[in-house]
Amino acid sequence: MRRLLMLLALSIAAAAAPAAAQDTTGTIDPGMSKAQVIARLGKPVSERSDGVYTFLYYANGCEKTCGMQDLVVLENDAVTDAIFRSPKHHYTGVSSSPNAVNPRDARAHRPTTLTIEKAPPAAPPMHDSTPAPADSARPPTDTSHHS
């Protein structure tokens, strides 16, 4: 009986709790429409369109350290890609994003010195070694005498 009362109390508390404005956790599947994505992830913080492509941007809590917001790409209103850094967001398709790299690993593989190859020195300008043309030639002097 005690167990039954506890279950009843928990179900009443859950029903009485205010519903969250948007459930910002979710899994996105390839082919989902924009409306379906918004139903799963909520309203995006930003949206861009270019022709048949729509880009939905979502906050992920690591914008500064990750360098980006979470991104859902739609082509003709169908999900074709998603790049997520938030553990709340998941994509069941194959993401174009490379796997995340742990900052410690990135520092460990960073070269300690920067090698800059010098460009070969520029060749001196070419000078034309052809002699300059002579002054205009004078007509030959007529040495024959006509009388």
Tens digit of each residue's pLDDT (9 = 90 or more) over 22-64: 444 689 999 999 999 999 999 999 999 999 999 999 999 988 8
**CA 42, CA 44: separation in Å to the nearest integer?**
6
Residue carrying the six token digits 């006509």: 146
Q: Is the pTM of this model over 0.75?
A: no
For the domain 19-92, what is the CATH code?
A: 3.30.1450
What pLDDT is recorded for position 82?
96
58 bridge partner residues? 70
Q: Inform me whether the pLDDT recorded for 145 exceeds 80.
A: no
Residue 56 or 127, more confident: 56
Residue 96 has pLDDT above 70, yes or no: yes
Q: Indicate the SS3 state at residue 16.
A: helix
